[in-house]
Amino acid sequence: MSEQLNASLPARFERPSLVAALLFAGFIALFCWSVSAAGLSLPQLLSGLPNMAKIAGEMVPPATNRISPMLVAVLVTFQMALVGTVIGVLISLPLAVLMARNYTPHPLVRSMVRSVVSFIRTVPDLAWALFFVASVGLGPFAGTLTLIMDTVGFCARFFAEAIEEVDDGAPEALTAIGAPRASIVVCAALPMAMPSLINTSLFALEKSVRASVVLGLVGAGGIGAELATAMEMFRFDQAATIILLVFLLVLSVEKLSSHARVALLKKRR
Amino acid sequence: MNALAQPDISNTALRVRGLSKQFEGAPTPVWSNVSFDVPQGQRVAIVGGNGAGKSTLLRCCMRLVEPDSGSVEFAGQSVTGLGLRPLAKARSQVGFVFQKHNLVSRLSVLTNVLHGAMAYSRTPRLWFHSIATREHRDYAMHCLEQVHLGHLSGRCAGELSGGQSQRVAIARVLMQKPKMIFADEPVASLDPQAGEDVMQVFSELVRSQNLTLVFVTHHLDHALHYADRVLGLRDSKLHLDAVSQQLSVQQLRGMYE
């Protein structure tokens, strides 16, 4: 009996296949090569430590003399993120329906929309920001357009996946009634996918708030522009104030979105 | 088992001719060459073992699953070969009660019932009860009252018990004003008492409105008690077609051997 059990007991570790071993060795080689290309240097890090300490020292106490324009810039940053996310989510919903395997009007439409959304997603935020700054000029409008693109790239894909994963039951019931396709999407697919849609939208808002801070560095409006100016003028005390304000903004949005998530998921119509 | 029921051909609600279905990769057909007629107002039970294709038969009649061959007619109108729009119109004549209720769990009970009206109206005002017309809202409440659930109209459908959910699904079918009802194991997920209550409500509504009913069941006593006629599927074919009064539970058990 015990011999039989031992014979069927699986080994603790399986012997890797030759292909798996070669892939692992290849990954290690690539990583080592990348470490040298990334310029990791312990001596350089150690020599930079006094500078870090000096800058950190100059950050304390944070400056409060420009607090009013900074607060306005933080508010603008949040407003850009909010508007960009809401418009992005609204654009993402129909795109997601066209991208979802079970609701697309035609497979060709699905692959076309998927390609467009993949392109939007793969172009980095900063590239979009530079493009819009060059197109519509400096300021929050360029930033908001960037955040719309960022939200569409993120939300359309995850919305489509959420819609595809909805249980077939309720949509099948409306199909059996003879309901039009638009009604099946609005009354069954979207409500059933709603928890996931709400989660994704709130994550998109948090992501937009963080992204909007960076966008200011290239002139696309918001608190990022203040941060870039403070750093360029070696006003590390002002930079510290801005970093604290950004920290408070991101933290508040995360807290608010957590509460909104709980409250909205309880809602029904 | 060949005590065939004689249908009234002049008043046929459902006509099935030579219907066959084999799923891709399956070695044998689910069933082949199935033919039967259901006169208006008749109540028909479909019985058979697991995998006999009872649910598939109902779904093929609605073309929720496409049959391989054969034809289906609702009140003389062919369903096979219809395009999407006319198929939706043909489906709207038939109420379908599912085993798992298939309500939109995040919407209210009243909104779920209201969706039944999509069978005859394409207005977006049917999407949610808050934007529906007074007339539609009132009729949805009337349908809910018929299944004795008017007091739960504002409740979220996901908060209901299994028996309550199935009664809401029946109310949705009533809202549809169908000429015929298909029910796929409507009490399979319910406890015996809730199942009996649902069948009772169902039976009274069908009888009072002279609706045609075709239901799938594993409850042989339900087949004998609530149906005028029993169809049995076995060995990939229609093995039994008999008037329920001429059948016994023992005879029906033969369908499961």
From chain B, the residues in CB contact with A265 under 8 A are none
Task: Say which residue the tokens 């011999």 belong to.
Answer: A3
Confidence class for position A262, pLDDT limits 50, 70, 90: confident
The size of the A-B interface in CB pairs under 8 A is 86
Output the pLDDT for position A175.
92
Residue A220 has pLDDT above 70, yes or no: yes
pLDDT in tens, A61-85: 988 888 999 999 999 999 999 999 9
- Asked if A187 lies within 8 A of B104 by C-beta distance, the reply is yes
- Asked if B90 lies within 8 A of A174 by C-beta distance, the reply is no
Own/partner contacts of B129-134, CB < 8 Å, gap of 24 or more, are: B129/A269, B130/A269
Is A187 near chain B, with CB under 8 Å? yes
Specify the DSSP element, H or E, that contains B36. strand B31-39
CB A80 within 8 A of CB A222: yes
Output the pLDDT for position A197.
93
Output the pLDDT for position A139.
87
Is A106 near chain B, with CB under 8 Å? no
CA distance B249 to chain A (A): 32
Q: Decide: helix, strand or coil at residue B20.
A: strand
Confidence class for position A4, pLDDT limits 50, 70, 90: low
Output the pLDDT for position B203.
83
Residue A31 has pLDDT above 70, yes or no: yes
Residue A269 is nearest to which of B111, B115, B126, comparing CB atoms?
B111
Confidence class for position A1, pLDDT limits 50, 70, 90: low
Residue B127 is nearest to which of A187, A194, A268, comparing CB atoms?
A187
Task: Say which residue the tokens 């077939």 belong to.
Answer: A168
- Asked if A269 lies within 8 A of B126 by C-beta distance, the reply is no
**Proportion of chain A above pLDDT 70, given as a percent:** 97
Output the pLDDT for position A10.
79
Closest chain A residue to the Cα of B184, Cα to Cα: A173
Closest chain B residue to the Cα of A186, Cα to Cα: B127
Sequence-ordered list of residues with C-beta below 8 angstroms from that of A241, at least 6 positions apart, any chain = A62, A63, A64, A66, A67, A70
- Asked if A179 lies within 8 A of B88 by C-beta distance, the reply is yes
Give the length of chain A. Answer: 269
Sequence-ordered list of residues with C-beta below 8 angstroms from that of A252, at least 6 positions apart, any chain = none
Residue B107 is nearest to which of A178, A182, A269, comparing CB atoms?
A269
Q: In whole angstroms, give the CA distance from residue A212 to residue A40.
A: 29
Output the pLDDT for position B157.
93
What is the full per-residue pLDDT of chain B (257 aa) written as tens digits?
444 444 445 588 999 999 999 998 888 899 999 999 999 889 999 999 888 899 999 999 999 999 999 999 998 889 888 888 889 888 988 999 998 889 999 999 999 999 999 988 889 999 999 899 999 999 999 999 888 888 999 999 999 988 899 889 999 999 999 989 999 988 887 788 878 888 888 888 888 888 899 999 988 888 998 999 999 998 888 888 999 888 888 888 877 77
pLDDT in tens, A98-116: 999 999 999 999 999 999 9
Task: Tell me which amino acid residue A262 is.
Answer: V
Output the pLDDT for position B1.
44
Choose from A106, A199, A269 for mutation: most chain B CBs within 10 A: A269
Output the pLDDT for position B197.
82
Identify any residues that bridge with B77 across adjacent strands, giving them in sequence order. Answer: B74
Residue A269 has pLDDT above 80, yes or no: no
CB A169 within 8 A of CB A238: no
- Asked if B127 lies within 8 A of A192 by C-beta distance, the reply is no
Closest chain B residue to the Cα of A269, Cα to Cα: B107
Is A93 near chain B, with CB under 8 Å? no
Q: In whole angstroms, give the CA distance from residue A174 to residue B59.
A: 14
Q: In whole angstroms, give the CA distance from residue B36 to residue B46.
A: 12
Q: In whole angstroms, give the CA distance from residue B133 to residue B117.
A: 12
Confidence class for position A91, pLDDT limits 50, 70, 90: very high
Residue B104 is nearest to which of A177, A180, A192, comparing CB atoms?
A192
Residue A177 is nearest to which of B87, B108, B176, comparing CB atoms?
B176
Output the pLDDT for position A63.
87
**Proportion of chain A above pLDDT 90, given as a percent:** 64
Task: Say which residue the tokens 């919903």 belong to.
Answer: A93
With b for 16 or more beta-carbon neighbours within 10 A and e for fewer, the A142-154 pattern comes to bbbbbbbbbbbbb
pLDDT in tens, A179-218: 989 999 999 999 999 989 999 999 999 899 888 888 888 8
Is A266 near chain B, with CB under 8 Å? no
- Asked if B119 lies within 8 A of A177 by C-beta distance, the reply is yes
- The pTM of the full predicted model, rounded to 2 decimals, is 0.80
Is A190 near chain B, with CB under 8 Å? no
A253/A85: higher pLDDT: A85
Q: How many CB atoms lie within 10 A of CB A217?
A: 15
- Asked if B115 lies within 8 A of A179 by C-beta distance, the reply is yes
Is A186 near chain B, with CB under 8 Å? yes
Nearest to residue B9, comparing CAs of B36, B46, B34? B36
Q: Decide: helix, strand or coil at residue A166.
A: coil
Output the pLDDT for position B3.
43
Is A188 near chain B, with CB under 8 Å? yes
Lowest mean pLDDT among A11-15, A156-160, A251-255, B45-49: A11-15
Q: In whole angstroms, give the CA distance from residue B74 to residue B178.
A: 11
> Phi-psi region for residue B160, left (φ > 0), alpha (ψ -120 to 50) or beta?
beta
Q: Decide: helix, strand or coil at residue B7.
A: coil
Output the pLDDT for position A2.
63
**What are A150's two structure tokens?**
């960022």
